Amino acid sequence: MATVLFRTGILGLRATCKQDIRLSQTIRSFHSNFRTLNMATVESYEIHYWPIHGRSDVSRMLLEAAGKPYKNVFIGSAEWATLKKQQRFGHTPWLVVKYTDGTSKTLWEQLAIDVYLAETFGFMPSTEAGEDEAFSRAFCVAHHTSWLELSDKFGVAMGLPTLEERREQINKLRNDVAPLHMSFHEKILAESKGPFYYGEKPTLPDFMALSTYLRMEELLGECSHEQFPNLLKLNEAVLKVPHVADYVQKRRDFGVIRFDKDQLKGVPAKQ
């Protein structure tokens, strides 16, 4: 019996040793891979979207403001049927993050992309010691999504099938929806200690506010500033962020689609 127990003990010890060796090898492999991941830094970005500003406008602004290299990979109508099936959720946009070791990662959904870029480049609010950081960031994103919802309503209006429907919806946005929306944000900005939502620091919703404002100008003509002086200050301040004004003036229009004010929809730039 003692011999059996001894043998069992040896076998158990050997098994344990083998497990320890495998565990040790796994840990060494993990640390090796971790060091490799640490060494692989972001090299550049690709934005895959239609040749319009639309849902990639803020993403491009954030990349421009951060001075990061990126490439626009425009999607064509002919290839979309094939590309659609390959995407995680079947729609645009998506962001490809390229690393120095040749690997890449892909992120879908405008909100996820915008939040990722804002977090990466420091366009989220600063938090004090002891402050609930997660809540602070969620609160910031709430301002962003509020503007995103308004921007989407203009996009939906432009996509309605008839001119009569488009005109009716855009007039509703002009006279009711947009002024009410902006009145809420005007009050919020009045409480800020600077031109931005978070004082002197530009954050994610500031870029979304400017993007939506530019879209409204395209559809509605020049918007009145008399009722919303704080929104005007915000837009002017965002345009002073490095590279943003240059992007808006020179790199926001890709010369493929233009907005036709008579038809109230996007049409080919060259006909």
Is pLDDT larger for residue 32 or for residue 170? 170
Looking at every residue in the chain, the average pLDDT score rounds to 86
Please, which pLDDT band fits residue 4 given cuts at 50, 70 and 90? Answer: very low
Cα distance between residue 149 and residue 16, in whole Å: 58
In the chain, what is the straight-line distance between the N-terminal and C-terminal CA atoms, in Å?
Answer: 95
C-alpha distances in Å from residue 264, one per residue of 92, 149, 156, 175, 215 = 23, 20, 12, 16, 12
Cα distance between residue 48 and residue 93, in whole Å: 6
Q: Which residue ranges does the chain devote to CATH 3.40.30.10?
A: 42-121
Answer whether residue 9 shows pLDDT above 60. no
The residues with which 42 forms a beta bridge, in sequence order, are 99
Q: Hey, which CATH number is domain 42-121, 3.30.70.100, 3.40.50.11890, 3.40.30.10, 3.40.50.720?
A: 3.40.30.10
Q: pLDDT tens across 212-238, in order?
A: 999 988 888 766 677 899 999 999 999
Lowest mean pLDDT of 21-25, 116-120, 224-228, 265-269, name the range. Answer: 21-25
Provide mean pLDDT across the span 67-96.
Answer: 92
Which helix (H) or strand (E) segment holds residue 189: the answer is: helix 178-190
Cα distance between residue 208 and residue 145, in whole Å: 8
C-alpha distances in Å from residue 182, one per residue of 30, 226, 228, 244 = 51, 12, 7, 22
Provide mean pLDDT across the span 186-196.
Answer: 96
Peptide bond into 125 cis (omega under 30): no
Phi, psi for residue 253 in degrees, rounded to 5: -100, 120
CA atoms 221, 150, 140, 224: torsion sign: positive
Q: Please state which CATH number belongs to domain 133-242.
A: 1.20.1050.10
Q: Which residue ranges does the chain devote to CATH 1.20.1050.10?
A: 133-242
153, 127, 151: which is closest to 138 by C-alpha?
A: 127
Residue 230, classed as helix, strand or coil, is helix
Amino acid 104: pLDDT: 95
Amino acid 131: pLDDT: 81
Place of tokens 């990466």: 120
Cα distance between residue 33 and residue 21, in whole Å: 18
Is pLDDT larger for residue 185 or for residue 269? 185
Is pLDDT larger for residue 42 or for residue 224? 42
Is pLDDT larger for residue 223 or for residue 157? 157
Q: pLDDT tens across 113-149, in order?
A: 999 999 999 999 988 777 888 999 999 999 999 999 9
Q: pLDDT tens across 44-76, in order?
A: 999 999 999 999 999 999 999 999 999 999 998
Amino acid 10: pLDDT: 36
Lowest mean pLDDT of 47-51, 106-110, 129-133, 252-256, name the range. Answer: 129-133
